[in-house]
C-alpha cells in the first residue's frame, strides 16, 4: 500500500474539466458509430430513448457529485462502493471500469483508423489488417501524450474538442435549416414519448442509449488533479451532462429528418459524413470525418485517463499490485499503468484483426460495454443512496430536493440500470455475454491472487 503517492494536484480548472467531461463522451464519435444501431433498435422512438436514459444518467451524475463531496478520489466508483459496501464489491465496481476501458480501445480505435483511411485511402477502409495497423499508431500517440502529464493532455483535449465543436455546430445549424423542408421521417412529438415502447424494445434501445452518455465521469477520475477537488469536478460533470443531453437529442432528430432508413443502414458508422455530404457535398463530408477523428482520439485519451487513474487508486490502496501506483518522478503520471493499458490495447487490437468484419467488432463491443457501464454506474447510484440514507429519516419534506438528488434519484437510476442490463442479457449472443459478464467475473482471479499475495507478505 502506498498512501503517499499523489497525482499532480490543482492542474485543472472548471473549463478544462467541462471539456474533459464532454470529450469523454465523444459527441461526434458516439453519434457516428451508435446512431444507426439505436435507430435500428428503437426506430423513430430513438429520441425518447436518449431522453429517458439522459434523465437516468443525471441520477448517476448526482450520485458522483455527492460521493465526490464525501471523498474526492481518482478511483471514483471503486473507492465509493468500497467505502459503502465493502472492498470486495468495490473491487468489482472498479474492475468493470478497467475491463470496459480495455474493450473500448477496440471499439474506439477502429473508427479512428477508419476515419483516417477514409480521408487518405478510402479503398482500404474495409481491410481489417490495415485498420488495425492505423489504430495501433493512434493508440501509441495517445499513450505518449497521456504519459507526459495532465496539463499537456488537457491542452491537446481542449484544442481537439473546440475544432470538433465548430464543425458539428455548422452541420447542426445547416441541418435544422434544410432538412425539415423535405423530411425523410415526418417530425412528430411521439418521437419523445417513452410510453410508446414495449418493455423489450425499450430495454434494447436503452442499453445502446446508455453507451451514448458513457465517459462524462472522467471529470471525477481527475478530481485529485483538479482545483477545489470536492466541488469543481461535480460542477463539470453536471454541465457536461446538460450539454450532451441536448446535443444528442438534436442530432438524433436531425438524422431522422435528413436520412431515410436505407441511407442510415447504408452509411452505418459514417452518419455524420452522410449528413454533411448531403448538405454541402463531398468536401464537407470529409471535414465531418475530421471531427469524428478528433472526437475518437479525444475519447480514447479520456478513457486512458479513467483506466490509469482507477488502476492507480486500486494499487495505492493495496487492492492490486503496488507497481501500478508508481508515479513518474518528473511528470507525476502513473506511467506503469499507462504502459500496461497501451500494451493491452495493442494486444486486443491484434486479436480483433482476426474477426471477420469491422462491423462485428463494433457491434459486439458496444453491447458488451453497455452491460459493464450499467454494472459499475448502477452500483455507484446505490452506494450514494445508502451513504446518504439518513436524509430520508431526518424529515425529508424540509429539504425535498436534497432527498431527491442524494437518495431517490440516484437509487432509482441505479436500479433502472441493473434492470436494463439484466433484461437485455437473454438477447445477447454468446460473444457479447462472454465479454460483458465474463469480463467482470474474471476479476475474481486478480482479487484472490492479490489477497494471497498480501497474506504471504505479512510477517508470521
pLDDT tens-place string over residues 440-449: 888 888 888 8
Lowest mean pLDDT among 54-68, 180-194, 344-358: 344-358
Q: What percent of the residues of the chain are helix, what percent strand, and what percent coil, each to the nearest 5?
A: 80, 0, 20
Closest listed residue to residue 233, CA positions, set 43, 15, 430: 15
- Rounded to whole angstroms, the Cα distance separating 381 from 57 reads 10
Which one, of 81, 78, 14, 92, lies nearest residue 444 by Cα?
92
The residue extents of the domains of the chain are 14-456
Count other C-beta atoms under 10 Å from residue 226's C-beta: 27
DSSP assignment of 274-306, as one string?
HHHHHHH-HHHHHHHHHHHHHHHHHHHHHHHHH
* CA contacts within 13 A on the Cβ side of 134: 24
Q: What is the mean pLDDT of residues 23-37?
A: 83
Question: Other CB atoms closer than 10 Å to residue 356's CB: what's the count?
Answer: 8
pLDDT surpasses 60 at 68: yes
Please give the mean pLDDT across all residues of the chain.
84
Provide the greatest CA pair distance for the chain.
79
Question: What is the arithmetic mean of pLDDT over 22-39?
Answer: 84
Neighbouring CB atoms inside 10 A of 204's CB total: 23
Averaged over 151-171, what is the pLDDT? 86
pLDDT digits (tens, 9 = 90+) for 268-299: 777 888 888 888 887 777 788 888 888 888 88
pLDDT, tens digit (0-9, with 9 covering 90-100), for 208-250:
788 788 888 888 888 888 888 888 988 998 999 999 899 999 9
pLDDT of residue 83: 94
Torsion (CA) 153, 158, 163, 166 in degrees, nearest 10: 160
| CATH class of the domain whose range is 14-456 | mainly alpha
* Arithmetic mean of pLDDT, 122-137: 78
What percent of the chain has a predicted confidence (pLDDT) above 70? 92
- Out of 26-30, 68-72, 223-227, 301-305, the most confident range is 68-72
pLDDT surpassing 70 at residue 387: yes
pLDDT at 357 over 80: no
**pLDDT at 412 > cutoff 90:** yes
Those residues whose C-beta lies under 8 Å from the C-beta of residue 361, and which sit 6 or more positions away, are 106, 107, 110, 352, 355
* Beta strand spans in 107-197 (E): none
Among 38-42, 86-90, 96-100, 427-431, the range scoring the smallest mean pLDDT is 427-431
- Give me the pLDDT at residue 1, please: 47
The residue among 78, 20, 60 whose CA lies nearest residue 377 is 60
| Residue 148 DSSP code | T
Cβ proximity of 38 and 377 under 8 Å = no
Decide: helix, strand or coil at residue 230.
coil
Rounded Cα–Cα distance for residues 350 and 369 (Å): 19
Q: Determine the Cα–Cα distance for residues 113 and 116; give it in Å rounded to an integer.
A: 5
pTM over 0.75? The answer is: yes
What mean pLDDT comes out for the span 408-422? 91
Give me the mean pLDDT over the 251-256 stretch: 93
Query: What count of Cα atoms within 13 Å lies in the side-chain half-sphere of residue 353?
Result: 18
In this prediction, residue 436 carries a pLDDT of: 77
Q: Please report, for residues 106, 118, 297, 351, 397, the alpha-carbon distance to residue 124 in angstroms, rounded to integers and kept in the order given.
A: 18, 8, 20, 19, 62
Q: CA 248, CA 212: separation in Å to the nearest integer?
A: 8
Q: Are 308 and 337 in contact (CB under 8 A)?
A: yes
Confidence of residue 363 (pLDDT cuts 50, 70, 90): low
Q: What is the rounded (10 degree) CA torsion for 218, 224, 225, 229?
A: 90
Amino acid at each position: 500500500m502506498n498512501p503517499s503517492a499523489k497525482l499532480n494536484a490543482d492542474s485543472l480548472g472548471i473549463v478544462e474539466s467541462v471539456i474533459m467531461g464532454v470529450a469523454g463522451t465523444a459527441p461526434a464519435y458516439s453519434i457516428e458509430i451508435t446512431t444507426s444501431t439505436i435507430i435500428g433498435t428503437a426506430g423513430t422512438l430513438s429520441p425518447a430513448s436518449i431522453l429517458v436514459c439522459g434523465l437516468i444518467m443525471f441520477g448517476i451524475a448526482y450520485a458522483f457529485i455527492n460521493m465526490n463531496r464525501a471523498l474526492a478520489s481518482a478511483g471514483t466508483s471503486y473507492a465509493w462502493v468500497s467505502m459503502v459496501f465493502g472492498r470486495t464489491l468495490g473491487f468489482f465496481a472498479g474492475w468493470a471500469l478497467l475491463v470496459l476501458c480495455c474493450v473500448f480501445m477496440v471499439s474506439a480505435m477502429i473508427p479512428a483508423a477508419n476515419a483516417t483511411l477514409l480521408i487518405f485511402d478510402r479503398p482500404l477502409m474495409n481491410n481489417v489488417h490495415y485498420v488495425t495497423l492505423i489504430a495501433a499508431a493512434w493508440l501509441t500517440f495517445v499513450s505518449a501524450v497521456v504519459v507526459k502529464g495532465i496539463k499537456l493532455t488537457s491542452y491537446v483535449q481542449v484544442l481537439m474538442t473546440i475544432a470538433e465543436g465548430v464543425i458539428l455546430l455548422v452541420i447542426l445549424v445547416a441541418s435544422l435549416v434544410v432538412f425539415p423542408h423535405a423530411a425523410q421521417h415526418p417530425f412528430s412529438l411521439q418521437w419523445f414519448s417513452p410510453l410508446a415502447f414495449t418493455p423489450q424494445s425499450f430495454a434494447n434501445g436503452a442499453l445502446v442509449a446508455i453507451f451514448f452518455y458513457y465517459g462524462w465521469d472522467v471529470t471525477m477520475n481527475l478530481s485529485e488533479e483538479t482545483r477545489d477537488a470536492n466541488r469543481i469536478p461535480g460542477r463539470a460533470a453536471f454541465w457536461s451532462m446538460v450539454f450532451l443531453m441536448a446535443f444528442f437529442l438534436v442530432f438524433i432528430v436531425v438524422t431522422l429528418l435528413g436520412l431515410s432508413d436505407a441511407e442510415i443502414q447504408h452509411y452505418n458508422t459514417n452518419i455524420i459524413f452522410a449528413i454533411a455530404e448531403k448538405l454541402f457535398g463531398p468536401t464537407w463530408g470529409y471535414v465531418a470525418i475530421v471531427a469524428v477523428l478528433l472526437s475518437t482520439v479525444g475519447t480514447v485519451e479520456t478513457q486512458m485517463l479513467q483506466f490509469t487513474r482507477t488502476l492507480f487508486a486500486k494499487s495505492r490502496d493495496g487492492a492490486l499490485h503496488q507497481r501500478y501506483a508508481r508515479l513518474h518522478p518528473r511528470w507525476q503520471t502513473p506511467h506503469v499503468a499507462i504502459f500496461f493499458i497501451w500494451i493491452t490495447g495493442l494486444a486486443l487490437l491484434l486479436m480483433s484483426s482476426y474477426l471477420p468484419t469491422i462491423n462485428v467488432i463494433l457491434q459486439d463491443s458496444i453491447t458488451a460495454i453497455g452491460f459493464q457501464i450499467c454494472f459499475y454506474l448502477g452500483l455507484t447510484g446505490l452506494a450514494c443512496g445508502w451513504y446518504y440514507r439518513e436524509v430520508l429519516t431526518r424529515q425529508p419534506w424540509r429539504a425535498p430536493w436534497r432527498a431527491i438528488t442524494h437518495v431517490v434519484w440516484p437509487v432509482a437510476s441505479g436500479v433502472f440500470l441493473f434492470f436494463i442490463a439484466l433484461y437485455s442479457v437473454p438477447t445477447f449472443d454468446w460473444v457479447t455475454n462472454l465479454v460483458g459478464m465474463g469480463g467482470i467475473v474474471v476479476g475474481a482471479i486478480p482479487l484472490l491472487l492479490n489477497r494471497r499475495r498480501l497474506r504471504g507478505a505479512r510477517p508470521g
